Structure 1
């Protein structure tokens, strides 16, 4: 068990705020002093911004935090038949920053699917479309060639994806999380209930086969995104759970091959969700990164 207290899901949901993005009802969260440096937290698939709940209060003591449940996730809209796109999710993040009047440099902390959104925002920074101050990635598919999807992800992309999505259940979630979390940092039943509550809200399983299109989209954007990471000018760090079968130590090794002067931290024994498996370590390594800027 983590020593950080975290935030109960019901309390977290009660603090969510509404906004509209392209006609869709979205939920977002903010914390910290408005005058503090803005830190945008971007969650992964298939969960939501509550993933950050252990880190939320400690980080809010130093930074102005912003997070939203992206389109198709958590407590935000999950439109049927929508052509979900990582590029649109990046548009969403920019729209939220604009709504909050944040124009200056923004720091990013991202995980999983959110890593790809952060990569797109980094590319846009180099194109002069927004200003980033730094970016920290947690486990995610930064490079398609080192992304090892679990079976359910592959099946969601297949012709039976829509059916599989509708059959996706708490039991399915538990089985898959058991594989991707570290052996000593498995989620408890209550945590699984909460993760499932966010996924199941507004029939989220009904759009999972549409959201999963991010995997081929990553391949399309690979060259642009990797070049953005290699370009320099924005400090980067990778904090990676080593035993994650999807994007663990093998992905960090590729990061060290491709990124000049790579700043990376390997968390032994930790799986795909370091921010919930070892939040104290993530906090320690994130704050150290920021203090060195």
Structure 2
């Protein structure tokens, strides 16, 4: 990379600290900010399909820099392990973030790519791996400055690199679904797909005997030969007015939804609609 392009990249990074465009409301749902900068000593892109890759960042920095939007417009550090473990809680599982991958020392026509990121993992060796899908067309939001530099291809192996991760404008709110089912009772809850997306499995589940649990992106089913209690996590769009759907909840069983830091709201038998403040 030429000295001019190095200065331009540094200037772009600094500009994000004072010129982010993502809504401030989303900052509360992310581990530390609205745009994140991860750096690595080396990396690789392993093709897995058309414009899809396994992105490996070796020797990543132990912390990311998080830039927060107005009114604070501050920067802070986020531990890499916390960022990875908080991926779902941040809403990135429901709404995968876009990122700009820039490679130091690569030719100007092969040094920047806009990608969508999913499934982050830290390996035993300490490398960060993600699934990356190239995003065609111009970037938007905090990554718009990279549009004129975006390339269709990058080297499959490379040295030092930066990954600018945009939390995006499509904010989501976490929702905790708590279920308490007596023995030999069946519960079914189906959410409107536009209102709720579940993570696909229980985060906490305790029972005295084996029970049946099915979880889809928009529904749960419980068949309990013994009393069961559990908590699952889902996400609802930040601009949603309500969470609606239909439920079969027998006497003695309870299901509640807690949006963000709000109070638990009972989900009722039959058609239900939970207003969001």
Indicate the TM-score class for this superposition, using the shorter chain for normalisation: under 0.3
TM-score (norm 2): 0.22
Q: Per residue, is there more helix in 1 or in 2?
A: 1
TM-score (norm 1): 0.22
Greater relative contact order (CA < 8 Å, ≥ 6 in sequence): 1
